[in-house]
Structure 1
Amino acid sequence: MLQVFDTHAHYDDGRFDEDRDTLLASMPENGVQLILNPGCNPETSRKAISYAEHYSFVYAAVGYHPENIEGVSDEQIADGLKEIEEMAKRPKVKAIGEIGLDYYWCKDPGERRRQQEVFRAQMRMAGRCGLPVIIHDREAHLDSLTIVEQYPKVRSVFHCYSGSAEFAKQLLALGCMISFTGVITFKNSKKAREAIEVIPMERLMIETDAPYMAPEPYRGKRNSSLYVHRMAETIAEIKGITPEEAARVTLENGKRFFGID
């Protein structure tokens, strides 16, 4: 059985309400050694901390996701960021995240600038807290890269990576980690596979982004950390190594990045 680290899963999602505790309790016996649950706003960040404090193998990140600032006043965001920074002091909080930019739905230039401002505020927060960041980058590669470049002392992982091999090389030059979801198991995942080919093993992490994007052969089902082994197996296939080696290296990469003993 592979021993794996799911570095990004949203157990605060309502799709886990019926069996969250039973599911999480089953993880160690299924080879899931560690889980990192990021927050997307103050409420989900609080929930992430509650799971981390209940389960020894679960850790939390706290942050404001770019989609979650839509319709929220500047004053509310400012108050939320203060609360997030206070939560970041809790022992089981290991990152600021999920933060970043999402231009897929956001077409208004003013709203995009607002996303950038909140992103920068949280990069500064991470610097003050001495924590790494988990970056959401959807159709905003250039702006995400530009902002990350401005904070060279803040360690970053680009989660649910969707960019090209060339963009991956740019991120690697900045010292970033890159994390992949079940998308890499899909038949049309040529771009992701090309990116994995150029990323050294020591810079790779794996995740489910549960409950979204379940890998093959579970595509279409609710995703969970029980399926994260499929990402290790797929990376092993692409890299020409054993699944055990892919699982071991990505587990150690995640522990090192998040500062987990």
Structure 2
Amino acid sequence: MPTLIDSHCHIYYDDFQHDLAQVFERAEAAGVKGMIVVGADPVTSRQAVEIAAGHPALFCTVGIHPHDAAGVDEAAVMALEELARTSPKCVAIGEIGLDFYRNRSPREDQERVFRRFLQMAKRLDKPVVIHDRDAHAETLAMIKEAGVTRGVMHCFSGDLAFARQCLEQGLHLSIPGTITYPSNEQLREVVRNVPLERFLLETDCPYLSPVPHRGKRNEPAYTRITAEKVAELRGLTVEDVGRITTMNAGRLFGIPLWDESTKIAYRIRNSLYLNITNRCSNQCTFCAKFDEFTVKGHNLLLDHEPGFEEVMAAIGQPEDIHEVVFCGFGESLLRLDLVKQVAQALKQRGYPVRINSDGQANLAHGRNILPELAGLVDSISISLNAPDAATYGRLCNTPFGEAGWQGVCDFLREAPRYIPDVTATAVTIPGIDIEACRRVAEGLGVKFRVREYAEVG
């Protein structure tokens, strides 16, 4: 069962008054563990606060939608600022922004009110929930002018280029049920090409129901339909998408619904990964762990290196696992004895075993360790990452100097004698000649795979 958060819903409307208890039950059954109830004007902002106060997993925002900007005076703004300041479950300012599609309020009023709420968010140190329709450039310009760098573009409707501009500003993108609409290929392109660590999921209920409920009332349970579509587009499970987007919402809004415990064994797709050390031979300039220790929603920052019994306890008896991978945020082969011991136990259980490595284990141990892996390891992926020693040294900061890259090449050349499936990989770091890396791998007699830059796990 996934853990999902509907990061934008309007369940205070009359559409929900006759069956709100059942709405909550259906959401729970679908894996929706939390909701953010978003205010759109002074009345609904107060309703959002009241609803959130009565439910442990509900949180709220306050704001004024651009449709209602006309006639908003300073007293209304200050009253909502006081509400945001004094409501312990108010996690953001919004829904605010610009809507030049319907223009239900004059543009000057929309911009005036939007600017005031952006200033409020900065003053209260809260993220913003942004409504933007047919006003991409103007909306982002005002956000930049206000110096706001935390928030979410609700119901994202821009193209990939605009998505990247929003990310550069520090904003998240929220994906609604419209991703299921056959004509919305633009949003699907965004989802395919933006790191999942910058996405939230939402319904915007009662609006924008996903297929197959299009045209009917939307509700928080349908967050799962959106999650399933995102999972399909990204080649992940719905549990993966739920875990990642729940982490994202937890971090952005400060809500305690993300499992932050350190993982020794963790699942991505149908693979079980083992995180047994945070130590590495290299200090690669592009390594994500220098920014944070999470991978696809899993916290991998170890406070100690686990022993055999602890690793086996963490593995347990997993079902529907296609392989077990020694990976984590460190070089597993630095703990060679533990790898051999765990791999032997896994092989006895019938699990295929893979290792992801930097290929410098022979240099680190001062001997050829590959014969010790024979019969224990089915496949190994080695980070080549450069077509020559100079580039490798610059990118990977190997402690072995000029011998580092050559050591990786020698490891790759030798590995097929002991391990059936050997692959060299390279990350699409800007400026790297991927085809030259491919030629090196082919010359060493191994397969080659490209890994996307800034896409970990």
TM-score for the superposition, normalised by structure 1: 0.94
Do residues 134 (structure 1) and 140 (structure 2) align? no
Counterpart amino acid of residue 24 in structure 1 = F
CA shift digits 1:177-234 (9 cap, x unpaired): 0001000011111000111122111100100000001111111111000110111111
Q: Which has the higher contact order (CA 8 A, sep 6+)?
A: 1
Unaligned 5+ runs, structure 2:
257-457
3-state secondary structure, aligned to 1:8: strand
Do residues 92 (structure 1) and 89 (structure 2) align? yes
Do residues 241 (structure 1) and 236 (structure 2) align? yes
Asked if structure 1 preserves the Cα contact closer than 8 Å seen for 2:149 and 2:170, the reply is no
CA shift digits 1:136-181 (9 cap, x unpaired): 0011001001011113344120010111011001111111100010
3-state secondary structure, aligned to 1:7: strand
Counterpart amino acid of residue 101 in structure 1 = L
In 2: Cα distance, 1:213 partner to 1:153 partner: 28
3-state secondary structure, aligned to 1:252: helix
In 2: Cα distance, 1:120 partner to 1:57 partner: 30
Asked if structure 2 preserves the Cα contact closer than 8 Å seen for 1:161 and 1:180, the reply is yes
- Identity of counterpart residues, as a percentage? 38
In 2: Cα distance, 1:211 partner to 1:240 partner: 29
In 2: Cα distance, 1:196 partner to 1:228 partner: 15
CA shift digits 1:1-38 (9 cap, x unpaired): 22210000001112112112342355334311110011
Aligned to 1:78: 74
Asked if structure 2 preserves the Cα contact closer than 8 Å seen for 1:202 and 1:249, the reply is yes
Asked if structure 2 preserves the Cα contact closer than 8 Å seen for 1:169 and 1:198, the reply is no
Aligned to 1:57: 57
Q: 1:191 to 1:41 in 2, by over 3 A?
A: same
CA shift digits 1:74-118 (9 cap, x unpaired): 4xx32211111011021000000000000111188xx21210111
3-state secondary structure, aligned to 2:146: coil
Alignment of 1:152-163 (within 5 A): 152-163=147-158
Counterpart amino acid of residue 208 in structure 1 = T
Asked if structure 1 preserves the Cα contact closer than 8 Å seen for 2:49 and 2:90, the reply is yes
| Number of residue pairs aligned between Structure 1 and Structure 2 | 255
Counterpart amino acid of residue 65 in structure 1 = H
Asked if structure 2 preserves the Cα contact closer than 8 Å seen for 1:5 and 1:250, the reply is yes
| More displaced 10-residue stretch of structure 1: 173-182 or 20-29 | 20-29
3-state secondary structure, aligned to 1:94: strand
Aligned to 1:18: 18
3-state secondary structure, aligned to 2:245: helix
| More displaced 10-residue stretch of structure 1: 245-254 or 15-24 | 15-24
Asked if structure 1 preserves the Cα contact closer than 8 Å seen for 2:177 and 2:208, the reply is yes
Counterpart amino acid of residue 160 in structure 2 = A
Asked if structure 2 preserves the Cα contact closer than 8 Å seen for 1:133 and 1:157, the reply is yes
Do residues 173 (structure 1) and 172 (structure 2) align? no
Aligned to 1:31: 31
Moved over 4 A (4+): none
Do residues 185 (structure 1) and 192 (structure 2) align? no
Counterpart amino acid of residue 102 in structure 1 = D
CA RMSD of aligned residues (A): 1.4
3-state secondary structure, aligned to 2:190: helix
In 2: Cα distance, 1:95 partner to 1:138 partner: 20
Unaligned 5+ runs, structure 1:
none
Counterpart amino acid of residue 36 in structure 1 = I
In 2: Cα distance, 1:208 partner to 1:137 partner: 16
The structure in which a higher percent of residues are helix is 1
In 1: Cα distance, 2:15 partner to 2:195 partner: 35
Aligned to 2:99: 102
Aligned to 1:67: 67
In 2: Cα distance, 1:210 partner to 1:216 partner: 14
Alignment of 1:116-135 (within 5 A): 116-135=111-130
Q: 1:203 to 1:217 in 2, by over 3 A?
A: same
